[in-house]
Structure 1
Amino acid sequence: MKKAEVVFIPFPAMGHIVALVEVAKLLVRRDDRLSSTVFIMHPTFDPSTTKYTESLVASTLPDRMRVINLPNLESISAETHGRNWLISLIEGQKPYVKEYVSRIRTQSELNPDSHRLAGFVFDTFATGMRDVATEFGVPWYVFSAASAAFLSCMLHLRSLHDEQGVDLTEFKNSDALLEIPSLVNPLPAKLAPTLVFKKDLLAIFLEHARILTEAKGILVNTFLEFESHAVNSLSDGKTPSVYPVGPIVKHVGDDRDLRSDESNNFRDVMEWLDNQPPSSVMFLCFGSWGSFGEKQVKEIAFALEHGGYRFLWSLRKPSPKGKIGSPSNYEDFQEILPQGFSDRTAKIGKVIGWAPQVDILAHPAVGGFASHCGWNSTLESVRFGVPVATWPLYAEQQFNAFQMVIDLGLAVEIKMDYQGNFFGDNEIIVSAEDIMKAIKYVMEQDSETRKKVKEMSKISEKTLMNGGSSYASLGHLIEDVMGNI
């Protein structure tokens, strides 16, 4: 019996690592002929990943799967290498990857019954490793932690730039509309991914889009019924085979192997939710990089206090000016919240720091979600049937918000063209009135949006089971991988 080994290399950030580890688990659990190795590059983009990767010990992983932490190249960081840090990190880690993979290759040559190297799966932003796959003479695939629609958007914007000479940076404040093949409706150009608005970041974006077309196949964290138009638009004969393998929904909170303060916080939050009526709580959480300055915090606080709905608000402290890093927890919320807010809202609301997002969204008390529209969060909201009020901040989140609100009708807009930064300060302030209006609509129990999200939630439950579309897609991927031997 032929046996195949697949090597996975994620982008070194929490959402990307978790998703690719879960895909590797799916493969080995599905087919006894497969084994997988996941390499984690260090230092990671987000320090919180350390706890998660430490929790991935052999006893927690399925048979035929291993996770290898590569040596920590401490001299390479975002602060020391700026925008080139990822390129430097990949180049620094290549020798270690080659060394480990050489051992796999040698073992298979010595033992005919062992697994033979059949391919690599690189995160979209780790494709700088692709020459390693070439060196070992095996195909490589790409894993996209973004949507199928965004994948198509990347390829389309590359085409506009490379083939039609369009200056994409001019879209920043443009009133132009873009016809993106993966979207039903024209996209306002200013909602294009924020990376394309700056020349240095645009170059990186375009390079990744070009590399996508070289892959043997592309795995996408989505499912056919959710993004049918987008997935079908990628079957154009020019794009490598696309395999929707989602929704991959998992979070560090699932492992309960957290720092003691987070464990205590988790219990406190879940106990509070247990005491709330079904679908009564509005949950506000803006991702691992999401934070707001004082003026905006006060507008949100006013909206929550006067909107009258129960709420659970994950409020994070922005990084210090000029320092790149994810937001931290406030030692005392009184330093940022309006005076007396906590006392006045004690019976209806709770303000927290770090949030076990998946567990919260899965709780029956949660009825709405104000979100930054990162793709993982979007999938989680759909998976648990919680309608979203969109408040995108950066990267491709504005695009995701447009797709959810306009194309799919599965969300409501707070402000779709909002553009934040990593330091929480912004000239654009969203008013309490606009926030209240969106929350009111999201929390309506009989709204059309809620009905649609609940229906999609039911489909998402079945898609990875035998007979589901993602189950079938994973089967096709396995056939392709086995054909590489």
Structure 2
Amino acid sequence: MGGDGNGGRMQVVVVPLPAQGHLNQLLHFSRVVAQRGATVSFVATSTHIHQVRSRVQGWDLHNFDIRFKELPMPHLSGEDIDAQSSHMFPLHLIPFFEAVEDQLGSHVDQLLSTICSENNNRVVIVHDSAMGWIQTVATKYSIPAYLFIPVGAYFNLWLKRVSDETWGLSPVNISLKRCFPERSIKNIRRQSSFFEHAKGYIINTFTALESEFIPRGREELVFGGKPVWSVGPLLPQAFFNDERRLQLQADTECMRWLDKRAPASVLYVSFGSMSSLSATQIGELADGLERSGQPFLWVLRIADGAHSSMEAQFDSACKFLQHGFERRLEGRGFIARNWAPQLDILFHESTGGFLTHCGWNSTVESISAGVGMLTWPLHCDQFANSALITRELKAGVEVKEWKNAEENELVSSEEVEKAVKRLMRSEEGMQVRKRAQELRSEARKAVGDGGSSWKDMDSLLHHFSESL
């Protein structure tokens, strides 16, 4: 991979969508590529580079040849987003994602021109599928460009069939409208229009996880008949080796609290970095957790903003809790504010279940840790991921059956209580957690020497070289 001298060394340019779940996956991908001998340039705004660097878990950035290339933050016009909308999608991020394309194209063009001249055109690009416009710049400089898919193959099949109206509302009673607002759907279709020049698709999944759906995606032209490399789960090897607390930031109050809990007794509760629950929903969830009698660790926060997640005012979410809630639950419940080391929590022996929004990062991480899931999807790919987890993999249970295909539904405290007990205390829950442990073993095999993802990564890097 390395080549002879700087002139012959391959440069892999990685361009994520500037949102935590996308940044995180592509930073871990960058680590694996750098570990295999290539030099990586990770391209994002300065704000989001700081964000992903501050949150990375399980490895030291200085140990890999990853160069961070900063783009300016796009200017936002201050347009109004419907504050009264009941849509769970993070509407405040849509103008930002559009501004990234509109305002940063010339900066990406200049950066790629410089990288190509410095590396004798031995450059390939891996970019987020939500940044399809990067293909235009890559074509200008004849740079081979690959699409990174930050969601699973199952969702891609669901999206195609729902978009083509060939699958109705199955496998879940959810429409495309509930997953994405119309403005976002238009942007997804626009980004997809750039895909025809891509060399192939890279997915953060592994064969045993989606053995049926990856080949079906090829057959049904979800991936356009092009090569598909399944290289996941993209996590630090240390977690598969049962090494813990590799960074000082992981030695937090919530981890010390977990140390005092019984094995597999704690329900971890988190809805990711891009979504916020309503005040009413926070109250229902809190009441349900209290009534369940189950120990829990709840990451309570508001969603990342467009400019900086680190400025999130997490106390505004906590004010919706009933007065005295934390005092009453002291010892049984722990509320982590703003951010918590999710990988360390999931891989901790005291964690026995995960109440999750089913974002693809959280899904893959929970499976890799062997933790059964209580699924509570909110938007995007999450409803399809919930169906994959509960109905196909049998590694989780649904918090409720969704009745309304179009509109958001409140989950009552009674439904929360019942679902928590179902996962954590029932025979069904025991079987779910057993199945999650089996998938954890498959994940370890996939990324180990000679595993399916290990081989696909080798094949991908060979394809990089051949494409040059």
What TM-score do the two structures reach when normalised by structure 2? 0.82
Structure 2 Cα separation of the partners of residues 82 and 353 of structure 1:
22
Aligned match of 1:14 in 20, 23, 29? 20
Q: Which runs of 5+ in 1 are unaligned?
A: 110-115, 161-165, 169-175, 179-185
Write the letter of the residue equivalent to 1:226: L
Cα distance change, pair 357–434 in 1 and its aligned pair in 2 (3 A): same
Instruction: Tell me what 2:419 maps to.
Output: 438
Instruction: Tell me what 1:66 maps to.
Output: 67
Cα distance change, pair 188–428 in 1 and its aligned pair in 2 (3 A): closer
Whether the 8 Å contact between 2:267 and 2:351 is mirrored in structure 1 is yes
Instruction: Tell me what 1:232 maps to.
Output: 215
Structure 2 Cα separation of the partners of residues 410 and 67 of structure 1:
37
Write the letter of the residue equivalent to 1:143: F
Structure 2 Cα separation of the partners of residues 212 and 360 of structure 1:
37
Instruction: Tell me what 2:86 maps to.
Output: none
Q: CA deviation at 1:233?
A: 0.8
Whether the 8 Å contact between 1:145 and 1:375 is mirrored in structure 2 is yes
Structure 2 Cα separation of the partners of residues 140 and 396 of structure 1:
24
Write the letter of the residue equivalent to 1:4: M
**After the TM superposition, which of the residue ranges 285-294 and 388-397 deviates more from structure 2?**
285-294
Q: Determine if the alignment matches structure 1 residue 352 to structure 2 residue 336.
A: yes
Structure 1 Cα separation of the partners of residues 389 and 460 of structure 2:
28
Q: Determine if the alignment matches structure 1 residue 37 to structure 2 residue 48.
A: no
Whether the 8 Å contact between 2:205 and 2:232 is mirrored in structure 1 is yes
Counterparts in 2 of 1:262-301, with a 5 A limit? 267-301=252-286
Q: CA deviation at 1:215?
A: 1.5
Whether the 8 Å contact between 1:299 and 1:431 is mirrored in structure 2 is yes
Whether the 8 Å contact between 2:131 and 2:191 is mirrored in structure 1 is no
Instruction: Tell me what 1:139 maps to.
Output: 144
What TM-score do the two structures reach when normalised by structure 1? 0.80
Cα distance change, pair 427–207 in 1 and its aligned pair in 2 (3 A): closer
Structure 2 Cα separation of the partners of residues 428 and 194 of structure 1:
11
- Secondary structure of 1:97's counterpart equals helix
Identify the structure with bigger relative contact order (alpha carbons < 8 Å, sequence gap 6+): 2
The number of equivalent residue pairs is: 435
Cα distance change, pair 103–76 in 1 and its aligned pair in 2 (3 A): farther
Structure 2 Cα separation of the partners of residues 331 and 135 of structure 1:
47
Write the letter of the residue equivalent to 2:298: W
- Report sequence identity in percent: 26
- Secondary structure of 1:295's counterpart equals helix
Whether the 8 Å contact between 1:319 and 1:327 is mirrored in structure 2 is yes
Aligned match of 1:392 in 368, 377, 401? 377
Structure 2 Cα separation of the partners of residues 228 and 188 of structure 1:
20
Structure 1 Cα separation of the partners of residues 177 and 347 of structure 2:
29
Write the letter of the residue equivalent to 1:364: E
Write the letter of the residue equivalent to 1:70: L
Cα distance change, pair 427–193 in 1 and its aligned pair in 2 (3 A): closer
Q: CA deviation at 1:82?
A: 7.6
Structure 1 Cα separation of the partners of residues 321 and 193 of structure 2:
46
Q: CA deviation at 1:60?
A: 2.6
Cα distance change, pair 21–297 in 1 and its aligned pair in 2 (3 A): closer
Whether the 8 Å contact between 2:13 and 2:43 is mirrored in structure 1 is yes
- Secondary structure of 2:133's counterpart equals helix
Structure 2 Cα separation of the partners of residues 453 and 405 of structure 1:
11
Whether the 8 Å contact between 1:104 and 1:117 is mirrored in structure 2 is no
Q: CA deviation at 1:318?
A: 7.1
Structure 2 Cα separation of the partners of residues 220 and 482 of structure 1:
19
Computed over aligned residues only, the root mean square deviation of the Cα atoms, in angstroms, reads 3.4
Whether the 8 Å contact between 1:284 and 1:311 is mirrored in structure 2 is yes
- Secondary structure of 2:111's counterpart equals helix
Q: Which runs of 5+ in 2 are unaligned?
A: 82-91, 237-243
- Secondary structure of 1:393's counterpart equals coil
Structure 2 Cα separation of the partners of residues 76 and 281 of structure 1:
44
